[in-house]
Structure 1
């Protein structure tokens, strides 16, 4: 049952379902089965957010999220995590921690993206409090950079003129005390947004990536590979064309695809479509991709100014550049 305060917060922070259709966003893609499937993803995020804002407790929230189809449930957890992050920023409680140490743990990769969605709606001084205490949870804190990825996706998706057409770069923020990496993680999310903005049409997506400065393209390709595998929308032939088009940057597509499969495997749902996309972009099976990502998460003692998250990504990427 909704609360009055929860409903007010929902209206303030969440767009309507109609606001995330291709027509409403102004994306120049004709309506099709693919666009309708892609529209379901942000709509599911919104539904998860509304439940997270309105629910009176974690048990009720988990029960509602369990009703979502497995292939979309991770996106619902994105929205629920966004809601919990916003609420915690307002009153200092620990909803996000409890969600991610409990039923949200299998969806941790996408949940961090939901934190990034919340960051897009919170003032920067509050960002230092948005990551919950998850000490002891595998991959934490390295993958908290996915929150910055989520922030980049949100800004590009809702403000494409500023971030895609005009190609503005975000003001650095000392995430994990590494402000220099902030724009790169942002671009990884922007690359994912390009997949949606162009309706999974690979030629349009590739053209959009090529319009950016060369030093930004590797992270954009990585985001494209993740979205192409996790969200879908393209055929195997299309993805093989995209891989060839990426040329020397093809390992970035494979990197993104492998991370997408890891996220799906953690949630217990690797579907045939995603595995086919993975194979088209990387030649790997889902089992091989999960093994690669897991073994690459173990530090080999590299040093440098980049955060451990990027060193992890580099170890995965190295498999595809050998």
Structure 2
């Protein structure tokens, strides 16, 4: 009963419902399957007596879609943590099992919960890592662009006073939210690289790098485009190719860490980064800063810049 009450209807993930571009039946089916698996993971969390019980079911989902289910479960447990009758941090216990290998997806899922919960409940959410907590903003941005597309994509809305995290430099949260919006654009555009590129180019130049980072992440993790399409997307990105590679490397690490690499991800990292998913994941992992902040620059931004610069240095990406 709890699952039925709090789990969104799967019809909300249909491209026709959302009004998203349909490139082909294959691309449509893939993106709708991603949405279905997200909601499956959400429902598993809602139904489970313990995170371990949900984990057992999540591990049965095919590798290509398992990460999306963990993301949905991250949202589900975060929503439960914020309820008045919560019995402790379920997200924390979720991360102590196999969820630890899906930590990036789970933090993104917590960001989905932020988008659905009133702001006064945000302090109840479990986001202790000062670096990875910014991934919740990616999830928040994806949610807003996915469900409020007219406002956040076509209207290019930004909240000039976004309140979280309180210690972030003024305006920085919007940059990571833009990464999530760019990731959602891959879905809004139906994995059609020309449509996605056109949407990004309609944004101010100051926002395009973060949008390309998100789109590169989605193109590598969710996939949905052939090699020639990815090459075209890389070429169309122009000066933002380093950001495209950075997003791709994030996606690679998110798939390599739990052992969920698929052939489409291998093609994407080769096109965007010039390396294998394992090598791209190593660049991402090795670029992580030791401190959450570097002066006035958030560690998360240092991390992203290091990754982008590393691929330029390796020669696989030209700015």
Indicate whether the TM-score tops 0.5.
yes
Q: Does residue 179 of structure 2 align to residue 184 of structure 1? A: no
Match of 1:273 in 2: 264
Match of 1:72 in 2: 65
Match of 1:209 in 2: 200
Structure 1 residues 132, 253: closer, same or farther in 2, change over 3 A? closer
Match of 1:38 in 2: 31
Match of 1:220 in 2: 211
**For the aligned residues, what is the CA RMSD?**
1.7
Output the CA distance in 1 between the equivalents of 2:237 and 2:188. 19
Output the CA distance in 1 between the equivalents of 2:264 and 2:227. 9
Whether the aligned pair in 1 keeps the contact of 2:45 and 2:54 (CA below 8 Å) is yes
Q: Does residue 144 of structure 2 align to residue 151 of structure 1? A: no
Output the CA distance in 1 between the equivalents of 2:270 and 2:253. 14
Match of 2:317 in 1: none
Residue 129 of structure 1: how far off its partner (Å): 2.4
Match of 2:90 in 1: 95
Structure 1 residues 295, 46: closer, same or farther in 2, change over 3 A? same
Output the CA distance in 1 between the equivalents of 2:291 and 2:95. 28
Output the CA distance in 2 between the equivalents of 1:163 and 1:59. 36
Q: Does residue 133 of structure 2 align to residue 120 of structure 1? A: no
Residue 303 of structure 1: how far off its partner (Å): 3.3
Alignment TM-score, normalising by the size of structure 2: 0.92
Q: Does residue 164 of structure 2 align to residue 169 of structure 1? A: no
Task: Find the partner of 1:108 among 103, 110, 113.
Answer: 103
Whether the aligned pair in 1 keeps the contact of 2:292 and 2:299 (CA below 8 Å) is no
**1:88-137 deviations in Å (ceiling 9; x for gaps):** 1113421110001222111111111100111111011211221245xxxx
Task: Find the partner of 1:250 among 241, 244, 265.
Answer: 241
Matched length: 309
**1:161-185 deviations in Å (ceiling 9; x for gaps):** 0111111103422316104211011
| Unmatched segments (≥5 aa) in structure 1 | 134-139
Match of 1:137 in 2: none
Residue 288 of structure 1: how far off its partner (Å): 1.7
Output the CA distance in 1 between the equivalents of 2:114 and 2:198. 29
Output the CA distance in 2 between the equivalents of 1:104 and 1:286. 20
- The answer to which of 311-320 and 225-234 deviates more is 311-320
Moved over 3 A (4+): 298-304
- The answer to which of 152-161 and 99-108 deviates more is 99-108
